[in-house]
């Protein structure tokens, strides 16, 4: 497999989990549930530069890359809309990473930014939906980021039983809980009334114009960070290509698949153009081609199938959550990716080993069958 310029790509391990694709230098997405760290001594070794790299990897890990340059580009992209969005994203990563370190989470997880991306997303989510300029929002985001570190450990421990990664499930759980509870607290809720609504039939034109298509292509990327500005999506893609050309191309393929699937299913043009139909497709494509499954033509097709599935699942999740405002967050990505990763173990072409009968461990490809 060709090594990427930035993030490390992954291959499936013989024990049923997922191991890092080998590389001599650089850093990439690294999922691990290994033991406790040694303490605070190493925290001081890196000084400012080392700590800065770890923090910037938090935003980058939203798209499965542990590249500080990518994280810096991501934060700058958010700041082009509102400087506070960039601050919330970086501050969320700082609080999540710091809390994990205080709880003695393994050093490698902290260094790779794996303890910062869920808290980064949660802080940014609250800034966008609850008004970034309010003190109550900042305090709630800070508290939520601390809890996110605990939730990440709990979800990682739970899913490790099935050798599955936590993805953004901790963020989804906390974001859903906070948005459901927020209208009950007057000091937190900035809107005059409730956003709750019953699911409605889609309406509006379903034939997009060329301008809608190219905006949708970039907005599918920017909506990963809750923004519908096409230039933010372009900057985020730039950050991806800066770390890994392969990751950038896969993200583009996922975005295009999201647009095509939404159009084929008859989604309203405005939903296609603003990126709310296709952003989960970008994340699913990245996860299934090169991160948790070895990058190859077969896994690319599998990843694009997953991207199309996530696009179809998005309105279903939004309708289920309509009574609380209809925010799907990244639930479609989490549900689709976990399902496709579990199924991949039964497909030798994807997993690189022979599936076993129920109740027996899988055999590597080419291994002799057990004696009767």
pLDDT, tens digit, for every residue of 50-101? 778 889 999 999 999 999 999 999 999 999 999 999 999 999 999 999 999 9
Of 67-76, 100-109, 316-325, the range with the lowest mean pLDDT is: 316-325
Can you tell me the distance from the alpha carbon of 332 to that of 287, in angstroms, rounded to the nearest whole number?
A: 13
pLDDT at site 186: 81
Q: Which residue has the tokens 């809720």?
A: 189
With residue 366 as reference, give the H or E element that holds it: none
Cα–Cα distance for residue pair 151/164, rounded to 1 Å? 16
pLDDT, tens digit (0-9, with 9 covering 90-100), for 121-130: 999 999 998 8
Q: What is the pLDDT of residues 140-185, one digit of tens each?
A: 999 999 999 999 999 999 999 999 999 999 999 999 998 888 888 8
Q: Where does the chain have alpha helices with state H?
A: 41-45, 47-60, 68-79, 83-102, 107-111, 117-130, 135-159, 169-181, 210-222, 230-243, 245-264, 269-273, 279-286, 297-320, 331-344, 348-351
Classified as helix, coil or strand, 63 is helix
Q: Is the dihedral of CA 77, 146, 110, 153 positive or negative?
A: negative
Least Cα distance to 250 among 306, 328, 209 occurs for 306
Closest to 203 in 3D by CA, of 271, 270, 268:
268
Please report the pLDDT score of residue 16 as a whole number: 40
Choice between 339 and 211, residue whose per-residue pLDDT is larger: 339
Poorest-pLDDT segment among 7-11, 77-81, 200-204, 238-242: 7-11
C-alpha distance from residue 124 to each of 130, 194, 232, 329 (Å): 10, 21, 14, 12
Give the span between the Cα atoms of 260 and 311, in whole angstroms.
10
CA dihedral 203, 205, 209, 214 (to 10 degrees): 10
Q: Are 127 and 141 in contact (CB under 8 A)?
A: yes
* CA–CA separation, 180 and 329 (whole Å): 13
- Among 36-50, 258-272, 356-370, the range scoring the smallest mean pLDDT is 356-370
What is the C-alpha separation between 320 and 160, in angstroms, rounded?
Answer: 28
Average pLDDT over residues 288-301: 94
The whole-angstrom separation of Cα 274 and Cα 45 is 44
In the three-class reduction of DSSP (H, G, I as helix; E, B as strand; rest coil), residue 10 is classed as: strand
Q: Please check whether residue 33 is in contact with residue 115, taking contact to mean a CB–CB distance below 8 angstroms.
A: no
In the chain, % of residues over pLDDT 90: 65
Class of domain 26-191+208-352: mainly alpha
Residue 237 has pLDDT above 90, yes or no: yes
Exposure b/e, 226-241, CB count within 10 A at least 16 = b: bbbbbebbebbbebbb
Mean pLDDT of the chain, nearest integer: 83
pLDDT at 35 over 80: no
Task: Give the length of the chain.
Answer: 372
pTM for the model: 0.81
């Amino acid at each position: 497999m060709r090594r990427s310029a930035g993030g490390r790509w992954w291959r499936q391990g013989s024990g049923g989990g997922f191991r890092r694709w080998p590389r001599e230098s650089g850093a990439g997405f690294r999922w691990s549930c290994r033991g406790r760290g040694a303490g605070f001594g190493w925290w001081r070794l890196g000084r400012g530069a080392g700590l800065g790299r770890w923090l910037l990897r938090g935003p980058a890990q939203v798209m499965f890359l542990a590249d500080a340059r990518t994280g810096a580009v991501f934060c700058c992209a958010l700041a082009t809309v509102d400087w506070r969005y960039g601050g919330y994203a970086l501050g969320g990563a700082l609080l999540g990473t710091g809390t994990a370190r205080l709880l003695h989470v393994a050093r490698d997880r902290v260094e790779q930014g794996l303890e910062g991306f869920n808290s980064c997303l949660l802080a940014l989510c609250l800034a966008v939906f609850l008004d970034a300029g309010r003190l109550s929002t900042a305090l709630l985001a800070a508290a939520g980021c601390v809890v996110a570190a605990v939730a990440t450990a709990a979800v990682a421990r739970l899913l490790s039983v099935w050798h599955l990664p936590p993805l953004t499930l901790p963020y989804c759980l906390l974001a859903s809980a906070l948005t459901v509870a927020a209208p009950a607290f007057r000091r937190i809720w900035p809107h005059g009334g409730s956003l709750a609504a019953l699911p409605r039939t889609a309406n509006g034109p379903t034939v997009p114009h060329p301008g809608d298509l190219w905006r949708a292509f970039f907005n599918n990327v920017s909506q990963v960070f809750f923004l519908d500005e096409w230039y933010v999506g372009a900057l985020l893609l730039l950050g991806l290509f800066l770390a890994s050309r392969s990751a950038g191309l896969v993200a583009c393929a996922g975005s295009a698949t999201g647009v095509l699937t939404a159009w084929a299913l008859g989604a309203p043009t405005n939903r296609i153009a603003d990126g709310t139909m296709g952003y989960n497709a970008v994340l699913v494509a990245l996860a299934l081609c090169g991160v948790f499954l070895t990058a190859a033509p077969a896994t690319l097709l599998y990843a694009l199938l997953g991207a199309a599935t996530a696009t179809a699942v998005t309105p279903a999740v939004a309708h289920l959550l309509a009574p609380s405002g209809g925010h799907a967050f990244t639930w479609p990505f989490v549900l689709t990716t976990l399902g496709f990763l579990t199924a991949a173990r039964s497909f030798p072409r994807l997993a690189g080993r022979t599936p076993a009968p129920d109740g027996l461990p899988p055999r590597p490809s080419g291994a002799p069958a057990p004696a009767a």
